[in-house]
Structure 1
Amino acid sequence: MATEIATLGGGCFWCTEAVFQQLNGVTAVESGYTGGSVPNPSYEAVCNGTTGHAEVVRITFDNAVVSYRELLEIFFTIHDPTTPNRQGADVGTQYRSVIYFHTPQQQDTAKHVIAEMANVWDAPIVTELSPETTYYKAEDYHQNYFVQHPQQGYCAFVVAPKVVKFRKMFADKARG
């Protein structure tokens, strides 16, 4: 198995994590923080916007089963890449749309996918493209959040529709 890591921020990490956990070829998804200036940030500090971190997911995937390009294509359909520092009602720099690349190949692929997606959206894409920085795993209670709390209000009304959308649009790539 040839594994690779992708780090993506598309708003609340609970949403992004829940979708990518459904994808064939993904071996692990972890919620965390990156892109900020404070070491070992807490969720509370990230949420009050003083650390500069984005909520992200770190995805480990088998690139023989699912490509980095396919991850990005899914990423651009499950969040709105045209709203700076916002996803729906979630507002703040921690919810920015961002791709942290790990290799020059990922950077190149991301540039191409962003250019292609510009034709799909009615507004300009504001997704940041940055080199991977220090990553911090989010607190344990954030890991597998949707799986553990599907009836919680935010999960039922915000996360679940994104999972349904993914399963409908990418049925051939979803786990059974």
Structure 2
Amino acid sequence: MRELETATVAGGCFWCVEAAFERVRGVESVVSGYCGGNTEDPSYREVCNGTTGHAEAVQITYDPDEVSYEDLLEVFFEIHDPTTEDRQGPDVGSQYRSAVFYHDERQREAVESYIDHLESTGAYAGIVTEIAPLEQFYRAEEKHQDYFEKNPNQPYCQMQIPPKLEKLEQKHRDKLAER
């Protein structure tokens, strides 16, 4: 039996991040949720109010024989802006911050190295992505799971998600699953 691994990232609205990672080859599942805060088992409303300290995040279960953690980092940094503090597009607040919640030292070293690479190549100036150990991940309410797939005509989704998916298709076609 193959050994799956887990990655946890936050890059703005979890609906957007989830929609992109669900298209990546080797990704077995993407779960929307909350992490990095100080309230036990917060609700969407509590997180959106910005008082819990949590970020909207996704937890990605993947097959490392098909896609590497570094490949996931490449996708992550492509689909959001890691230079804006507590903001992604129209979403403002610490719950929309850029963050990588690492599961072990190998992941911590990989994300630090990748950010150093991005900054040294000039791909981004002033990356503000938080790098923190994953302490607890709380699964979001069921209505937030596979949100874009279930609600493709929702106005927010129509405005925010297709540009991310187009960028992913253009720049990382080699990492996408066949649909």
Q: TM-score range by the shorter chain?
A: over 0.9
Correspondent of 2:140 among 133, 138, 141: 138
Q: How many residues align?
A: 176
What's the secondary structure of 1:45's corresponding residue? Answer: helix
Equivalences for residues 122-161 of structure 1 within 5 A: 122-161=124-163
Q: CA deviation at 1:171?
A: 1.0
Rounded to whole Å, the distance in 1 between the matches of 2:124 and 2:33 is 30
Identity score, percent? 49
Gap regions ≥5 residues in structure 2? none
The match for 2:65 is 64
Q: CA deviation at 1:120?
A: 3.6
Rounded to whole Å, the distance in 2 between the matches of 1:34 and 1:122 is 25
Rounded to whole Å, the distance in 2 between the matches of 1:120 and 1:21 is 28
What's the secondary structure of 2:7's corresponding residue? Answer: strand
Rounded to whole Å, the distance in 2 between the matches of 1:120 and 1:151 is 36
Gap regions ≥5 residues in structure 1? none
Rounded to whole Å, the distance in 2 between the matches of 1:112 and 1:73 is 12
The match for 1:165 is 167
TM-score when scaled to structure 1?
A: 0.97
1:6 aligns with 2:7: yes
What's the secondary structure of 2:31's corresponding residue? Answer: strand
2:139 partner amino acid: K
Q: Which moved more, 1:163-172 or 1:129-138?
A: 163-172
What RMSD over aligned residues (CA atoms) do the two structures have, in Å?
A: 0.9
What's the secondary structure of 1:150's corresponding residue? Answer: coil
Q: Which runs of 4+ in 1 moved over 4 A?
A: none
Rounded to whole Å, the distance in 2 between the matches of 1:164 and 1:16 is 13
Deviations, residues 106-146 of structure 1 (Å, cap 9, x unaligned): 00001000111113444300000000011100000000000
Rounded to whole Å, the distance in 1 between the matches of 2:146 and 2:168 is 17
Does the 8 Å CA contact 2:5/2:64 hold for their aligned counterparts? yes
What's the secondary structure of 1:100's corresponding residue? Answer: strand
TM-score when scaled to structure 2?
A: 0.96
Q: Which moved more, 1:96-105 or 1:117-126?
A: 117-126
Does the 8 Å CA contact 2:118/2:124 hold for their aligned counterparts? no
Equivalences for residues 99-138 of structure 1 within 5 A: 99-118=100-119, 119-138=121-140
